[in-house]
Amino acid sequence: NAGVMQNPRHLVRRRGQEARLRCSPMKGHSHVYWYRQLPEEGLKFMVYLQKENIIDESGMPKERFSAEFPKEGPSILRIQQVVRGDSAAYFCASSPGMKNYYGYTFGSGTRLTVV
């Protein structure tokens, strides 16, 4: 496991469709964080998950966005009925525990384009 794996790298969706973004954390990491990088706005925290639990979703838009991190498989960020304003780069990071003294490893991101 070379690092945090995100797929797809690029995703194009028409307005109104659903987008599913996947994040596989580093081996041994059970904590996942999702961030969104909007043009002109910088990188913003969205949600923090542990296996089967959402710990902090204070950065998630109230509607259309959801995230999960099941017991098995990758973490999923789901955006329903996408709009043009959802076009952004979505990054996930992982850590082995809540307290992390070694930095957070980010994936290469998924670039979502809504047309």
Partner 1 sequence: SQELEQSPQSLIVQEGKNLTINCTSSKTLYGLYWYKQKYGEGLIFLMMLQKGGEEKSHEKITAKLDEKKQQSSLHITASQPSHAGIYLCGADLNAGGTSYGKLTFGQGTILTVHP
Yes or no: say if 19 and 78 are a contact pair by the CB < 8 Å rule.
yes
**Contacts of 34 by beta carbon, 8 Å cutoff, 6+ apart:** 23, 45, 46, 47, 49, 67, 75, 77, 90, 91, 92
Determine the Cα–Cα distance for residues 51 and 76; give it in Å rounded to an integer: 12
Shortest Å, Cβ 55 to partner 1: 7
Closer residue to partner 1 in complex, CB, 18/52: 52
Give the binding site for partner 1 (CB under 8 A).
31, 33, 42-45, 48, 55-56, 58-59, 91, 93, 95, 98-109, 111
Shortest Å, Cβ 51 to partner 1: 15
Shortest Å, Cβ 50 to partner 1: 10
